[in-house]
Amino acid sequence: MMTCDDFRDRAFDYLDGSLADPAAFRTHLEICPRCAEALAGIVHNGKILAAARVPAAPADLWPRIAAAISEGRPVARFRPLVATILAAAAALLVALTLFVTAGPSSRPRLDVLIVEADAEAQRGIRGLLPRYQDVDTATAFVDTFFRSDF
Partner 1 sequence: MQGGDDSELVRRHLAGDPDAFRMLYEKYGEKVFASAFRIMGEHHAATDLMQEVFVKVHGELRRFKFESKFSTWLFRVAVNLAINKANEVGRHARIREKIQREGRGDPGGTKEGRPLDEQVHRALQDLSPKLRAIVSLRYLDGLSYEEISEVLDISMGTVKSRLFLAHETLRPMLKNVQLGQEP
Point out which residues bind partner 1 (CB under 8 A): 8-9, 11-12, 38, 41-42, 44-58, 61-62, 64-66, 68-69, 73-77
Q: Which residues contact 77 (CB under 8 A, 6 or more apart)?
A: none
CA angle 71, 72, 78 (to 5 degrees): 125
Q: Shortest gap between Cβ of 68 and partner 1 (angstroms)? A: 5
User: Distance of CA 28 to CAs 2, 21, 23, 110, 116, Å?
Assistant: 6, 12, 9, 80, 75
User: Between residues 54 and 100, which has the closer beta carbon with respect to partner 1?
Assistant: 54
User: Between residues 26 and 73, which has the closer beta carbon with respect to partner 1?
Assistant: 73
Collapsing DSSP states into helix, strand and coil, what is residue 32? coil
User: Between residues 67 and 115, which has the closer beta carbon with respect to partner 1?
Assistant: 67
Q: Shortest gap between Cβ of 42 and partner 1 (angstroms)? A: 5
